[in-house]
Structures are given as C-alpha cells and as structure tokens.
Amino acid sequence: MIKRLLIANRGEIAVRILRAARERGIRTVAVFSEPDRLAPHVLEADEAYLIGPAASSESYLRADKLIDLARASGAEAIHPGYGFLAENARFAQACLDAGLIFVGPLPETLELFGDKVRARAIAVDNDVPVLTGSRELGSVDEASAFLESLGDGGTMILKAISGGGGRGARAVNDTADIRSLYAEATAEAMNAFGDGTLFAERMITQARHIEVQILGDGSGAVSNFGERECSIQRRYQKVMEVAPAPNLPDGLRARIIASAQRLAVAVNYRSLGTFEFLVDATDLTDGSEYYFIEANARLQVEHTVTEAVTGIDLVEAQLNIAAGSSLSDLGLEQADIPAPRGFAIQARVNMETVTPDGRTLPSVGVLSAFDPPTGPGVRTDTFGFAGYSTSPSFDSLIAKVIGHSKSSDFGDAIRRTYRALSEFRIEGVSTNLSFLQNLLQGYRPLTKIRSGGNETLGNPD
C-alpha cells in the first residue's frame, strides 16, 4: 500500500496526480523549481520542497535529488507523470534500488520501448505490421540509400531513436535536402534527449494517427480502454485528441486494438501504456493497412478523453497497480471495461504568439485574468491562475479543455468543446484559443493542417 507519494513533475499533470492520490487517502509530496513556488501543485500538496533553479536540468531532471527527497520525506513511491523522467529506465531502476515504488512500467519495459528500432523488432516478432524502415542510421549516406530504396516519389521521415513528441523528426523526399535535414534532426534529438541517433521510415502522406490505451498488471493480464484519434498535429506535435476515433471502420478498429493487446501481453506489460499506429487514410475499409510506430510507456497527456468516455480514473488505476493490485482485484479485467459513451475531445491550450513570418513562439507574461470554462460535460485540467507569471523554461501548455457528449453524434462533442473554448477567459498572454476554435469548425480526422506557415503531413510521432 502507498501511504505517501512524491510527485516528480509540475504543471497540470502534477495537479491531476495529486488529486487522484488524495482521493485514495495518499499523502502527497510536491517538488518545485524557483519559478513554481506559488504553483497550485505546491500549495495543494501536503508537503512541498524546493528542488532547484528554473532550468529543468537542475531541478525536475535531477534524479538523485528526487530520490533523496522521497526518502527524506518518507514517501514510499514516486510518480513521474509524463515528460521529464517518466520514460527514463535508469531513473526507474534507481527508484527500485532505493527501495521506492516507481509508478510506471518496469525499467526493462522502458528501456525496450525507449528504443524505437527495438520496439519495431518486437512488433515484427508478434505479427504486428510496421512500416518499411531502416536500422540505426550511421551517416547521411545511409539515409540517402534508404530514400533511394523507396523508389521515385518515395518519401521518408527521419526520427529520433530515443524519445518522441516529434522532436528530431524531419520529412525528406529529395536527396538534395538530406544533408541539411539530417543535421537538423540530429541536433534537435540530441538537445531534447541527449541522443542524436536517427532511423528512417517510409512516410504515409495521408495518415491517421490511432493510439490504444492499455493497462497491465505485470502478470500477462492486459486490458484495453479503446482507442483515441490523435491525427490533428502541428509540426509533429499533437494539438487535439478524440476518443473514440470517429469514422473508423469497426473491423479496422478491432484489428488495431488486437495488435496493441498482443504487444502488451508479449512483454508482460505493467502500468499504463499507449500503443500508437498509423492508418493509410486514402480509402478506409475494415481491411485497410495500419502500422505500429511506437509505444509510450507512461501516462499520456490525452488520457483525459479515455477517462471521459469510459468513466474510469486511469491515474487511480495506475496507482493501484503500482501498489500491487491486479486487474482482477480492481474489477478492470477486459470484460469489466465499458463500451465508450459518446465522444470526448481534448484541446491543448498553449501560451503562444504568432510572429509576422508565421512562426509560433511561447508567450511570456503574467496572467491578469484566468477563468476556465465549466458546465455539463466540460473538464479543464490546468495549473493556471490570475497572477501566475509564466516561465520560458517550460512547455507552453497551460490547460487542457475536454468536451464530452454522451451522444452518438460526434458533432455534439465538437459543439460542446467549441463552446467551452469560447468561454475560456485568459488575459495577459497570447494563446492559441482562436486557432483551436477554427480547427473545431473545420474538423477532419486527417493529419494535414496548416497554421503559421507550418504543416504536418502523415507519420505523426
């Protein structure tokens, strides 16, 4: 049993975990860097400790400090949230070595799925389709050779072997561009993950990004909670997510979910995880092709929409599994998981400004007003408040607005989410609220969208 939990994160996910822990009677320990002294997760926790200055490398990424604080505070467990150290196998192992519970997958699972080339190999071994891809690329010449192997008109996407979130991803369809794009991708991956190693995949130019939420207890028992649509992206970054995926043929849906389940069982998956796939959207049928691209071995940003349509608290389930419960103990075996009720949409509200040349940059300032939307079927996960001073040291996400309609008409969920965004009052910084509203007005479950002179075409990461 977990009696005291250290939350090794910040922002809205720290608040989300804190509330789930409190409902289970778990005392919470927050950590914070200098800019986060007055953050909601700090003020709401039972205890809070300064961990370092603004730079993440000196605060939220300091595994040694986090473990020392957990032990000093009497915490039995550490929840990493997402981002920062959530998928770091060394951190997970260090927690176990220190006698602490790591609320997430086992270190060997994190290590496996942290290497996308190894993850592809596991998929192949379990008869799960993957895109034509390379092994680890050792040079620009190897990347050029892979592009040429795709034939005339072929397009490849360079990806970072470590990490995800679109960092280190570059689409290439001309050998003349490879050298510069390879250098950009390598540098970005190195900066984001400390590893600039790349591999390449054939690119689908009209793709839908479908992901499956699973929960395993480490015994080989795995349940899935259905799928989500994550196709609306900008520069390989998710902008909006939907559960379940609208207009997806039932036969294709079942095949994708079965593949995710098979992969999770094959590795005796424990904790929450998301298995991600691409679908060629040119002519969707029950027999359409789909491809495994990666597994995110952690709690996802978009877990909220799955919670909305199933009514299941995934963070609570994750905490219970970490404490030693089985799916059977929790009443979460596959037969217990309800069919999704209606549709839910999550819109990511970012603090950003658009430059005259069309680029988007983080918006920095003080929130002079902050009134999140409420009402039936509306949920807002945030850490913002009037008077909050934003920091350029962190991600620009300030809130997630989730609109849920129990109706089978997807349009109802769109209208509810649009209404919620229209009622969101944020002053003092620029945001992407109007961009999100425009997306909802013209929603199509494809990956090609334009904003500020940037677009994403297929193979989202």
Q: Write out the catalytic residue numbers.
A: 298
3-class SS at 295? strand
Residue type, 455: E
Neighbours of 172 (CB within 10 A): 23
Q: Buried (b) or exposed (e) across 391-423, using 16+ Cβ within 10 A? A: eebbebbbbbbbbbbeeeebebbbebbbbbbee
Q: How many helices (H) and strands (E) does the chain have?
A: 14, 22
DSSP letter string, 254-268: HHHHHHHHHHHHHTT
Burial class (CB in 10 A: 0-12, 13-18, 19+), 145: middle
Query: Residue 165 in 3-state DSSP?
Result: coil
Cα dihedral 60, 63, 67, 68 sign: negative
Provide the terminal-to-terminal Cα distance of the chain, rounded to the nearest Å: 36
| Residue 379: HSE in the Cβ half-sphere, 13 Å Cα cutoff | 18
Instruction: Please give the Cα distance from 17 to 422 (Å, whole number).
Output: 27
DSSP string, 200-217: EEEPPSSEEEEEEEEEEE
Beta strands in 81-155 (DSSP E): 101-102
